[in-house]
């Protein structure tokens, strides 16, 4: 399918949602869990924050619906809006964290595999581990592994250099793995 | 652990999640209100225009009622504020409000007399704290006129002539904001192993956790309030915490703690306070250190001269525009710029590439180069003499031998790497198609290896920017 054909189809889909309340409900019910799940992943399970950002995302998307050019899936577009709101949130969190005393975390060499890594874990446990990470490390980890963004894209999003993102990602991986190891130990 | 394990671990986050039905319905109703289904689009009206339109559509009698209600609400609000303002808070509320002040304290200047020392604290309201040792009490062993500037991570300690003695990482968990926490450098019993400013030797330490400075009042369930008193000319609430048996005098206006009486009978008391201070330019500056350098700190670097406060042997860098400092650790560090990464590593052990077991290593650059030449996976160009200020050694180019099989690189798994060196915080890898400019140096009995990667590696004038003081 060409890009032009795709654009026409997606544009019609969004326009259709505005044609009646029933159509809008169907579109909303299909889109909400995907956008909500996307935001929840970045918010490390913080439901209150997720609801706030999801709500802002939908309201902004509605008001700026003319900007949607139909070249991507509507939900992808919604997630892009949410991503920018999350980036603002991460930057704000980062500033708050930097204001407080932060001591350097010693990055130990990784030891052997632990049992937690060999078992399938549920979402709540992953979110709990993510919550132990500083905001920027969480942003880098989720954007890289869940969203599939490149380091350059992540850097543009959070206002860091590509090298800085790489460094963030290294520390995020270490701390994420450590969080699971501590959960095992504890 | 390979990256795909992290990816696998995070995979559940890709799934859609059904939100709380109440939230979903609330949001739906809010969105529906904005959609004009007749025209098949979204209403453009702004909130003020919608309010104005609703007002115009309201009957005259109802407008009068709404106006009266709004006036009554406003008066009620003002009255409530007046009552709240005049009410003396309960002790537990005072404790929590005082604790909240220290989340993001404003600028202040405060001289505090402690059992063995008098310190004039100045806080810039943005994370920099300066403490000057004043005459008055002696017994701490700290010199009058010396001072420190604390940047939230390190203490930068100065002698009485304003010369930087050194920068030291925080070692212990602080236990108070200005009472004890800020006294950590001066308090022999606060930390098990001292590594603090003005110690005879510069120890540093990194903790395995992130800590936040607690406020002065902690563990204060069941706080009791005593008579109000003047401290440093300011009215204070006196609070006593039964659990820790400490008493605190809390400024009625700012809720800063101005005096502490601890269970051991020690008193920490502000003798002068200014909550609207004006500081002279340079008060919080961290001026020249060794070789006119400032200590490296994490993040983007302004052009200038820096030294490594943690990595030893100390390296001095004279950096131009665009450099970023990623690490400064005991065994390695990393500076980067747009198209070049500069790693510096202290090599203290080498392993057999086949078995992974340690091999004899005499700690010299020559022995390191000989090990590389024997390495089955790595190739080096002919070493040439290298001379840097304060150190000498050899320079060569490092690459992977053609035909060598690699493993996915740690940070960029789409590329293949080979293992080069183990350091105490991880290891160094080299991509199969990468080339590194390497300078191996003998410095004060240690082998320090500098590795420059990237397109711009050849452009970095190492002798011009590096020195070993």
Rounded mean pLDDT, B36-56: 67
Rounded mean pLDDT, B210-229: 75
B137, B112 in Cβ contact below 8 A?
Answer: no
Give the distance from CA A124 to its chain's centroid.
15
B31:A58 CB<8 A: yes
Nearest-10 Cα torsion for B357, B360, B364, B368: -40
Q: What is the pLDDT of residues B387-416, one digit of tens each?
A: 888 888 999 999 999 998 888 877 667 678
Res. B152 pLDDT band, cuts 50 70 90: low
Judged by a CB distance cut-off of 8 A, whether residue A78 touches chain B is no
pLDDT at B1: 40
pLDDT at B140: 55
Rounded mean pLDDT, B171-195: 35
Res. A125 pLDDT band, cuts 50 70 90: confident
Contacts of B30 in chain A (CB under 8 A): 55, 59
DSSP string, B119-138: EEEEE-SSS-EEEEEESS--
Contacts of A134 in chain B (CB under 8 A): 210
pTM for this entry = 0.37
Contacts of B403 (CB under 8 A, 6+ apart): none
Q: How far apart are CA A75 and CA A38, in angstroms?
A: 10
Res. B172 pLDDT band, cuts 50 70 90: very low
Of B104, B300, B329, the CB nearest to A99: B104
Q: Characterize the bridge pairing of strands B391-400 and B435-443.
A: antiparallel
Q: What is the pLDDT of residues B260-297, one digit of tens each?
A: 887 777 788 899 999 999 999 889 887 655 556 777 76
pLDDT at B11: 80
B34:A63 CB<8 A: yes
pLDDT at B238: 93
Share of chain B above pLDDT 90, in %: 17
B332, B348 in Cβ contact below 8 A?
Answer: no
Whether residue B169 is predicted with pLDDT greater than 60 in this model: the reply is: no
Q: What is the average pLDDT value for chain A, to the nearest integer?
A: 73
Of B7, B37, B210, the CB nearest to A103: B210
Contacts of B17 in chain A (CB under 8 A): 33, 36-37, 40, 123
ipTM of the complex: 0.74
Of A102, A166, A173, the CB nearest to B153: A102
Of A36, A101, A123, the CB nearest to B13: A123
Restricting to A residues 18-77, those with a Cβ less than 8 Å away from any Cβ of B are: 18-21, 24-25, 28, 32-34, 36-37, 40-41, 47, 50-51, 54-55, 58-59, 62-63, 65
B10:A20 CB<8 A: no
Of A24-28, B197-201, B303-307, B315-319, least confident by mean pLDDT is B197-201
Res. B59 pLDDT band, cuts 50 70 90: low
Contacts of B27 in chain A (CB under 8 A): 32, 51, 54-55, 58
Residue of B437 and B87 predicted with greater confidence? B437
pLDDT at B276: 93
Q: How far apart are CA B156 and CA B316, in angstroms?
A: 17
Of A18, A47, A98, the CB nearest to B35: A18
């Amino acid at each position: 399918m060409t890009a032009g054909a795709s654009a026409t189809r997606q544009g019609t889909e969004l326009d259709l949602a505005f044609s009646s309340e029933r159509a809008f409900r169907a579109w909303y019910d299909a889109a909400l869990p995907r956008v909500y799940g996307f935001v929840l992943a970045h918010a490390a399970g913080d439901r209150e924050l997720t609801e706030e950002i999801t709500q802002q995302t939908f309201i902004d998307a509605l008001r700026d619906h003319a900007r949607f050019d139909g070249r991507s899936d509507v939900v992808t577009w919604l997630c892009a809006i949410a991503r920018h709101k999350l980036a603002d949130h991460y930057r704000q969190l980062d500033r708050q964290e930097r204001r407080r005393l932060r001591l350097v975390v010693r990055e130990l060499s990784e030891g052997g595999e632990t049992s937690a890594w060999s078992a399938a874990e549920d979402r709540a446990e992953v979110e709990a581990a993510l919550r132990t990470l500083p905001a920027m490390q969480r942003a880098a980890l989720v954007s890289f592994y869940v969203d599939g963004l490149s380091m350059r894209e992540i850097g543009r999003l959070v206002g860091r250099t590509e090298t800085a993102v790489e460094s963030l990602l290294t520390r995020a991986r270490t701390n994420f793995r450590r969080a699971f190891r501590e959960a095992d130990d504890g | 652990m390979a990256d795909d394990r992290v990816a696998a671990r995070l995979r559940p986050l890709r799934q859609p999640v059904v939100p709380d039905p109440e939230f979903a319905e609330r949001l739906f109703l809010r969105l529906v209100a904005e959609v004009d289904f007749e025209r098949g689009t979204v209403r453009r009206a702004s909130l003020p225009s919608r309010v104005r339109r609703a007002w115009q559509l309201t009957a005259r009698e109802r407008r009068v009622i709404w106006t009266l209600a709004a006036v009554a609400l406003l008066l009620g609000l003002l009255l409530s504020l007046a009552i709240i303002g005049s009410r003396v808070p309960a002790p537990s509320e005072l404790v929590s409000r005082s604790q909240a002040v220290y989340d993001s304290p404003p600028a202040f200047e405060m001289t505090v007399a402690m059992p063995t020392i008098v310190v004039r604290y100045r806080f810039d309201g943005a994370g920099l704290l300066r403490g000057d040792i004043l005459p008055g009490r002696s017994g701490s062993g700290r010199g009058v006129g010396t001072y420190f500037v604390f940047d939230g991570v390190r203490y930068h300690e100065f002698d009485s002539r304003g010369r930087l003695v050194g920068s030291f990482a925080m070692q212990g968990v602080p236990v108070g904001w200005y009472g004890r926490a800020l006294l950590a450098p001066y308090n022999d019993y606060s930390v098990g192993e001292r590594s603090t400013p003005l110690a005879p030797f510069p120890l540093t330490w990194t903790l395995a956790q992130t800590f936040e400075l607690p406020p002065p009042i902690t563990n204060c369930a069941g706080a009791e309030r005593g008579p109000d008193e003047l401290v440093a000319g300011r009215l204070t609430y006196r609070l006593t915490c039964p659990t820790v048996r400490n008493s605190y005098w809390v400024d009625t206006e700012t809720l800063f703690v101005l005096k502490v009486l601890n269970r051991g009978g020690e008193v920490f008391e502000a003798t002068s306070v200014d909550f609207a201070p004006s500081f002279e330019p340079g008060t919080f500056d961290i001026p020249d250190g060794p070789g006119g350098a400032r200590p490296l700190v994490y993040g983007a670097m302004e052009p200038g001269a820096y030294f490594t406060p943690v990595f030893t042997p100390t390296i001095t860098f004279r950096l131009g525009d665009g450099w970023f400092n990623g690490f400064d650790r005991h065994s390695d560090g990393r500076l980067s710029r747009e198209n070049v990464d500069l790693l510096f590593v202290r090599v203290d052990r080498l392993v057999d590439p086949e078995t992974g077991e340690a091999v004899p290593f005499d700690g010299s650059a020559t022995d390191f180069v000989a090990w590389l030449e024997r390495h089955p996976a790595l190739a080096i160009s002919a070493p040439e003499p290298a001379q840097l200020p304060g150190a000498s050694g050899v320079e060569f180019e490092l690459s992977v031998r053609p035909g060598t099989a690699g493993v996915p690189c740690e940070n960029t798994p789409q590329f293949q790497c080979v293992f080069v060196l183990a350091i105490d915080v991880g290891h160094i890898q080299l991509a199969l198609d990468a080339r590194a400019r390497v300078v191996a140096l003998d410095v004060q009995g240690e082998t320090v290896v500098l590795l420059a990667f990237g397109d711009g590696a050849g452009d970095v004038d190492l002798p011009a920017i590096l020195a070993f003081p």
